[in-house]
Amino acid sequence: MRKIISIIVLVIIAAGFVFTFSQIPFGKDKINVAGYYIERGIKQTGAVNIVTSVVLNYRGFDTLGEVTVLFIAALGLGAVLFIERKLKEEIKDKEDKKRKASLILRTGSRILFPLILLFGAYIFIHGHLTPGGGFQGGAIIASGFLLMYLAFPRKSINKRTSNIIESVSGLVFVGIGLLGLVFSGYFLTNFLPKGVPNTLFSSGIIPIIYIAIGLKVGFELTGIIDDLLGRSR
Amino acid sequence: MSVIYNSMYYIASGGLILIGLYIVLVKTNLIKIVIGLNFIDTGINILLICIGYIRGKTAPIFSDPGIKSTSVVDPVPQALVLTAIVIGVAVLALALSIVIKVYEHNKTLNVTKIKGLKW
Amino acid sequence: MIFQLLLIFIMIILAIAASMFKDLVNAVVVSAAVSLIASILFYFLQAPDVAMAEAAIGAGLTTAIFIIAIRKTERYEK
C-alpha cells in the first residue's frame, strides 16, 4: 500500500520536473546578476578567481552564515554523543585490547601525513589564484587526520589544542568583519590594499579569511570524526 | 539525438532526486534513509550547476591574461553550490549521530518498530 | 559527449543499485561512487571549485562517517 502511494507521488513529481525543465534551455546565455561581478571583479577585489570573490567579497555574509551552520552541527554532534566520565573509563579498558594496524599502513601514513597537510595548506592559501579555497583545503586536512586515526587505533589528537585553534579562527573571521565596520562603515568590507592581480599578496582580506576558514573547517571535521569514534580522553 | 544531448544533465539530476525520494519514502532502514537524503542533495547540486552552464565558455578564473570577460560561465551558482555541499555534510553528520542514539535506545533500526510517539 | 552520456547512465544504474543492496557497507561504497561521478560531471560543466569540494567532502569524509556509524549499529538490513 505504501509502495503504491509513493510511486504515484513520484510519477506526479516527475511530470512536474519534465514540465519545468523543458522551459529552461540548456547551454544558452542567461547571465543576469553575474555580469556585474565578472566585469568589475578583478578591479574591485583583486582576486582572479571570480568564484572566490563572489563567496568572500560580494556575498561574504552568506559565508559567515555557513561557517555558523557548520559550527552548530559539530556542536550538536558533540552534545548528542556525549559520554560521561565513568563510562569513558570502561570503554578505555575495552579499547586497550585493540590490534595494531598493518606495517604498510603504519609506515605509509607516517610519510603521507605531512604531505597531505602541506597540500591542504597550499590549497587554502592560494584560494584567490587557483581553484580551491578554505572549504576544500579544510576537508583535505581532515582527510589527513582521518588517515592517522585509521593507522593508529590507540592515539588521538589533543582535543584542547584543536578547540583553541578552531575558536580562534572563527573569532579572526568575525574580527576582520568588525574591523571593516570600523574602517569604512560596512561589515566585511575589503579594507586592505588590493595589490597586483595574480600574485600571492593581493586582494585584501580574502587570503586571511580563507586561511581562517581553512583551519576552522579542518579542525572542525576532525573533531566530528573524533567524537564519532569516541577516542579522545 | 540532439534532444538527448540537450537534456542529459536534467535527466541525471532529476533521476537522482527521484531515486533519493523513493529511498526515503519506501525503505525502512534508518541508514538507508540517510543515504537517500544524500542522493537528493547531490542531485540538487548537479541541477544548480547545469543551469549556470553556457555552451562554449570556460571556467571563471582569469589566470590567463587573454581570457576576456565575456567568455566565462556563470560564477554565482558555483558559489551557492559550494555552500550547499558543506551544509549537506554537516546535516549528514548530525543525522547519523541521532541514528546512533536511536539505536542505543531501541536496539533496532527499523522505522516501523520504533514507536516512541503516542499517536 | 558520448563519455558524459555513458557516465550519467552508469550513475543512474549505481543509484538504483544502492537502494537494492541488503549489506549496508555495499550501499555506502556505491554512494561514494555516485559522488565521484558527480565530481567528474562538475568538471565537465566548467566548475573546478565545486568539483574539488565534492571530491574531497562527498567521496572522502561522507563515506568515512557512514562506515563509523554502521560499525556502531547493525550491518545488515533485515
ipTM over 0.90: yes
Q: What percent of chain A has pLDDT over 70?
A: 93
Assigned C-alpha cell, B28: 525502512
CA distance A182 to chain C (A): 32
Whether B38 contacts chain C with CB within 8 A: yes
pLDDT attached to residue B4: 85
pLDDT at A19 over 90: yes
Other Cβ atoms within 10 Å of A101 Cβ, number? 13
A24-45 pLDDT, tens digit per residue, is 888 888 888 888 888 888 888 8
Whether C48 contacts chain A with CB within 8 A: yes
Q: Which residues of chain B have pLDDT under 70?
A: 117-119
**Which residues of chain B make contact with A51, given a CB cutoff of 8 A?**
60-61, 75, 78-79, 82
Asked if residues B87 and A72 have their Cβ atoms less than 8 Å apart, the reply is no
Nearest Cα to B60, choosing from A90, A116, A38?
A38
pLDDT attached to residue A93: 63
Kindly state the average pLDDT of the residues A74-85. Answer: 85
Whether C20 contacts chain A with CB within 8 A: no
pLDDT attached to residue A92: 65
Please, which chains are in contact with B (at least 3 CB pairs closer than 8 A)?
A, C
Confidence class for position A75, pLDDT limits 50, 70, 90: very high
pLDDT attached to residue A31: 84
**Nearest residue of A to residue B15, measured between CA atoms:** A14
Owning domain of residue C14: 2-72
A105-142 pLDDT, tens digit per residue, is 999 999 999 999 999 999 999 988 899 889 999 999 99
* pTM beyond 0.95, yes or no: no
CA distance C65 to chain B (A): 7
pLDDT attached to residue C28: 95
User: Looking at chain C, how many residues does it have?
Assistant: 78
Q: How far is the C-alpha of A204 from the C-alpha of A146, rounded, in Å?
A: 33
Report the Cα–Cα distance between both ends of chain A, in Å, rounded. 50
> Does A24 sit within 8 Å of B51, measured CB to CB?
yes
CATH class of domain segment(s) B2-56+67-106: mainly alpha
> Does B61 sit within 8 Å of A131, measured CB to CB?
yes
Best mutation target among C14, C61, C74, C75 (most B Cβ atoms within 10 Å) is C74
pLDDT attached to residue B96: 94
Strand ranges (E), chain B: none
From chain A residues 23-62, the ones with a CB under 8 A of any chain B CB are 24-31, 33-34, 37-39, 42, 48-51, 54-55, 59, 62
Asked if residues B29 and C76 have their Cβ atoms less than 8 Å apart, the reply is no
Tally of domains within chain A: 1
Confidence class for position A94, pLDDT limits 50, 70, 90: low
C9-63 pLDDT, tens digit per residue, is 999 999 999 999 999 999 999 999 999 999 999 999 999 999 999 999 998 899 9
User: Looking at chain A, how many residues does it have?
Assistant: 233
DSSP string over C21-64 = -SBHHHHHHHHHHHHHHHHHHHHHTT-HHHHHHIIIIIIIIHHH
DSSP string over B28-49 = -BHHHHHHHHHHHHHHHHHHHH
Sorted by where each begins, the domain ranges of chain B are 2-56+67-106
DSSP conformational letter for C73: S
Q: What single letter denotes the amino acid at residue A40?
A: R
Whether B96 contacts chain C with CB within 8 A: yes
CA distance B96 to chain A (A): 9
Q: How far is the C-alpha of A138 from the C-alpha of B38, rounded, in Å?
A: 21
Other Cβ atoms within 10 Å of A54 Cβ, number? 27
Owning domain of residue A29: 2-229
Tally of domains within chain C: 1
> Does C68 sit within 8 Å of A228, measured CB to CB?
yes
Question: To which residue does cell 581532515 refer?
Answer: A142
Assigned C-alpha cell, C71: 560499525
Other Cβ atoms within 10 Å of A96 Cβ, number? 8
Sequence-ordered list of residues with C-beta below 8 angstroms from that of A10, at least 6 positions apart, any chain: B18, B21, B22, B25
Q: Does C35 reside within a domain?
A: yes
A146-160 pLDDT, tens digit per residue, is 999 999 888 888 889
pLDDT attached to residue A47: 86
Other Cβ atoms within 10 Å of A89 Cβ, number? 10
By Cβ distance, the residue of B69, B74, B94 closest to A73 is B94
Q: How far is the C-alpha of B41 from the C-alpha of B89, rounded, in Å?
A: 10
A183-210 pLDDT, tens digit per residue, is 888 888 888 888 888 888 888 889 999 9
Asked if residues B37 and B88 have their Cβ atoms less than 8 Å apart, the reply is no
> Does B15 sit within 8 Å of C50, measured CB to CB?
no
Mean pLDDT, rounded, of chain C: 93
> Does A51 sit within 8 Å of C49, measured CB to CB?
yes
Nearest Cα to A60, choosing from A82, A80, A40, A45?
A45
